[in-house]
Amino acid sequence: MKKSFLTVCLALTAIVMFIAGPTGVMAGKLSGQLEIFSWWAGDEGPALQALIDLYKQQNPGVKLINATVTGGSGVNAKAVLKTRMLGGEPPDSFQVHAGQELIGTWVKADRMEDLTFLFKKQGWMDAFPKGLVKLISTDKGIWSVPVNIHRSNVLWYIPANMDKWGIKVPATWDDFFAIAPKLKEKGIVPLVLGQNWTANHLWESVAVAAMGADNWDALWAGKLPFDSLEGIKAWKLFGRVLEYTNNDASSLSWQQATDMVIDGKAAFNIMGDWAAGYMSTTKKLVPAKGFGWTASPGTNGEFIFLADSFGLPKNVKNRDNAIAWLSLLGSQEGSDAFNPLKGSISARTDSDLSKYNDYSKAAAADFGKNRIVGSLTHGVAANEGFMNDFASVMEMFLKSRNAEAAAKATQQIGIKNNIAK
Ligand code: GAL
């Protein structure tokens, strides 16, 4: 029996759709290259590598180039990315923080592709929390695919050292100030700090503790001036905290600062929970036994969050391969391969928690019940212009320790970068 031309066409279309999957990209049939760009190099690499391995399994014909520029929180990578983007040499997909780092920079400059089509095809409109999708969207589109949720306000320590030194983990900054001098006398750094950006990182934890979550949100909504009493209070508390940090901060990476805690040279470190990834994946410490954590002093019940994501720049060389990459990142499989190694939790609401360690399970529980606020240092709260200027304010404060002057300068850069009024 002769099949009609229409029947044949329909059958062929069905076969193509089956192979292509919901993204419309021919998974397994792709070839050529894919260049991804991030700052997850060296110690920060294992979680990314898990994704790369999956991608290679799914797309054996694609040569994946893993371009990384080392340096915590993307301090160096972001500068390289800027040169490439402005020079018309975008990587096929790059790491960017959800929030203002994405929207206020690359979306504003009209350099990104709208990914709404992919979100719809993959059913992601319901897979990610609505608040997170809002953070990566404008009224013109959805601009990246989130891979995780990290927590910024975590205090790390080694349980055995607490016993050895006879101290309790501080729940407030007053608790900390009560034990810090004793630690100092023993030659132990009470709170270890690393290079430049880690001071900003510490500042946000201290500021949220000093002013509370409502005021923190009000700052970024332009409703509370940075040089208000609350703003000054944050800088003053930060100045007091700095008295108990190490002198060689500027020469330490965040991993080296964490090592100081592991090695018993420092009591505490405030760092994002990539430190949990580092301590469990790289250092093989067992959560709650080998290393301990709690919310940074004065922030119990508050979760300063950030999310890493990847976007699709306009005019990339390997668009189909990049879409396959993004499809993997947003999938449950990809997310649950990446996050247990990274120390972060999945950005999806349906992740399989049995794959995660005790730290991540606790973080997931907190994320579900805490008050969520956005990180400044990791791209949620403010645009890059503000962040660059804030680095100078921080440098000035580290030298002068003048809280009023720092608060005033922050207000000025807030106005300049369209945040404060
Ligand atoms: C953050 C990033 C994390 C981690 C950290 C340290 O900005 O979101 O995934 O890489 O920097 O480099």
User: What is the reported pLDDT for 28?
Assistant: 73
Atom of ligand 1 nearest to the CA of 379: 7
- Which ligand 1 atom is nearest residue 148's CA? 9
Q: What tokens appear for 353 in the block?
A: 């928690």
Q: Using CA positions, which residue lies closest to atom 12 of ligand 1? A: 72
Give me the residues paired with residue 156 across strands. Answer: 269, 293
Structural element, H or E, at residue 121: helix 116-122
CA angle 197, 202, 203 (to 5 degrees): 95
Residue nearest to atom 7 of ligand 1 (CA): 73
What number of residues does the chain have?
421
Strand runs labelled E in 90-233: 93-97, 137-138, 141-142, 145-146, 150-151, 154-157, 189-192
Which position has the token pair 């700090």? 193
Q: Which residues line ligand 1 (CB under 6 A)?
A: 39-40, 44, 72-74, 97, 150, 254, 272, 274, 306, 308, 378
Q: Which residues of 90-109 are buried (b: 16+ CB within 10 A; e: fewer)?
A: bbbbbbbbbbbbbbbbbbee
Residue of 75, 308, 338 to mutate, ligand 1, most atoms within 8 A of C-beta = 308
Task: Name the residue with the closest Cα to ligand 1, atom 8.
Answer: 308
H-helix or E-strand spanning residue 373: strand 371-374
Spacing, Cα 74 to ligand 1 middle (Å): 7
Beta bridge partners of 112: 313
Using CA positions, which residue lies closest to atom 2 of ligand 1? 73
- pLDDT, residue 15, reads 46
Determine whether 110 is exposed, middle or buried from the number of CB atoms within 10 Å of its CB (0-12, 13-18, 19+).
Answer: exposed
| pTM (2 d.p.) | 0.93
Beta strands in 198-284 (DSSP E): 266-271
Residue tagged 């939790």 (tokens): 345
Atom index in ligand 1 nearest the CA of residue 71 equals 12
CA-based nearest residue to 99, from 326, 383, 414, 418: 383
By alpha-carbon position, which residue is closest to atom 1 of ligand 1?
A: 73
Q: How far is the CA of 13 from the centre of ligand 1 (A)?
A: 43
Question: Which tokens go with 191?
Answer: 């709170």
- Residue 307 CA: nearest ligand 1 atom is 8
Atom of ligand 1 nearest to the CA of 274: 4
Tell me how far the alpha carbon of residue 392 lies from the centroid of ligand 1, in angstroms.
21
Write 77-84 long-range contacts (CB < 8 A, 24+): 77/37, 77/38, 77/39, 78/384, 81/37, 84/37
Task: Give me ligand 1 centre to Cα 73, in Å.
Answer: 4
Ligand 1 atom nearest 306 alpha carbon? 8
Task: Give the per-residue pLDDT at 214.
Answer: 98
Torsion angles phi and psi, residue 157, rounded to 5: -160, 170
Q: How far is the CA of 4 from the centre of ligand 1 (A)?
A: 57
Tokens standing for residue 182: 């004793």
Residue 305 alpha carbon to ligand 1 centre in Å: 12
- What is the chain's pLDDT, residue by residue, as a tens digit (421 residues)? 344 544 444 454 444 444 444 444 555 799 999 999 999 999 999 999 999 999 999 999 999 999 999 999 999 999 999 999 999 999 999 999 999 999 999 999 999 999 999 999 999 999 999 999 999 999 999 999 999 999 999 999 999 999 999 999 999 999 999 999 999 999 999 999 999 999 999 999 999 999 999 999 999 999 999 999 999 999 999 999 999 999 999 999 999 999 999 999 999 999 999 999 999 999 999 999 999 999 999 999 999 999 999 999 999 999 999 999 999 999 999 999 999 999 999 999 999 999 999 999 999 999 999 999 999 999 999 999 999 999 999 999 999 999 999 999 999 999 999 999 9
Collapse the DSSP code of 64 into the 3-class scheme (helix H, G, I; strand E, B; otherwise coil) and give the result: strand
Residue 72 Cα to ligand 1 middle (Å): 6
Phi first, then psi, for residue 7 (nearest 5°) are -60, -45
Distance 309 CA to ligand 1 centre (A): 11
